[in-house]
Amino acid sequence: MPAQTDDIPPPEFGADQYPPELFDETTFWLFSLFWSVAWLAQVAFLIWMLIECLRKDPGRFLWFWVILFLQPIGPWIYFFIRWLPSSDFRLPKGMRRWSRGKELHRLEAAAMQIGNAHQFIQLGDALRETSHPARAGRAYGEALAKEPDNQQALWGASLVDFEQKKYESALPQLEQLLEIDPQYKFGDVSLLYGKTLFELGDRARARNHLEKHVERWRHPESLFLLATLEAESGQVAKARATLQAMLMDINGSPRAIARKHVLWKSKAHRLLRKLPRGERQS
């Protein structure tokens, strides 16, 4: 029997000794695509944070260098420490439901134990903000049973009904609220009343209400809705003037406010393009 030696060459390591799926071309390109997308997303996030810092942050000269040189975590540090607390960003409703679970339990216990209208309103507000409209409606109903003229409860119940497209239920509550205080919520109640009339198909009352509303409150949504009603009735020149006034209001507002109304600005431009050149007499 021949003696074994140590100079037997080791077996060659080739692709055939490994699962072929680890080395095939598709897998390689998928990994390459993933890392390319991740890299581009990080670069875009870096640029966004740098722009936000330079435009808005009073401590920009310090934070600019934090973002730029502490890669890749610098932009994320700035996002959580500076940008997020100073913005009006809100978590999606699904995430808010998860993050506020303990608070909901506490508010439910307070409503059951104390049982005043105030506790039920707090519970209703939290339930509405976390996408529990049916339960929120019941909580506001309990509050109204105890205090029928409670403005917060009427407002909450109206919002829930409108969000659930129960316009017939929302309308009398909004009318009652406007009778108590026409300026409640700085015109938000008045705007919702006009939107409810619009959704109910009562175009004449909706237009009449919105014409009075925009004399006091220049919500972009109310101006757009009024222009829509004017266009529907054939008063194209009025609709165009209303939309142009809305755009002037937005363009003349502070930059932070103008950014919040970019959706209505876009809608106004689209409606202006659709309006015919001539005007039909109604």
End-of-domain residue from the set 176, 192, 211: 176
Q: Is residue 226 part of a domain?
A: yes
% of the chain surpassing 70 pLDDT: 83
Q: Is the pLDDT of residue 257 over 70?
A: yes
Cα→Cα distances 132→22, 25, 100, 150, 153, Å: 47, 49, 12, 21, 16
* 122 and 188 both lie in a single domain: no
**66 vs 146, more confident:** 146
Q: Is residue 8 part of a domain?
A: no
Going by pLDDT thresholds of 50, 70 and 90, the confidence category of residue 61 is confident
Could you give the number of structural domains in the chain? 2
Give the helix ranges, DSSP H, for the chain: 25-56, 60-69, 74-78, 84-86, 93-99, 101-113, 117-129, 133-146, 151-163, 167-180, 188-199, 203-216, 220-232, 236-251, 255-260, 262-274
* 205 and 129 both lie in a single domain: no
Full domain range(s) for residue 244: 182-276
pLDDT tens by residue, 174-190: 999 999 999 999 999 99
- pLDDT for 15 equals 46
* 212 and 152 both lie in a single domain: no
* 187 and 263 both lie in a single domain: yes
Q: Is residue 18 part of a domain?
A: no
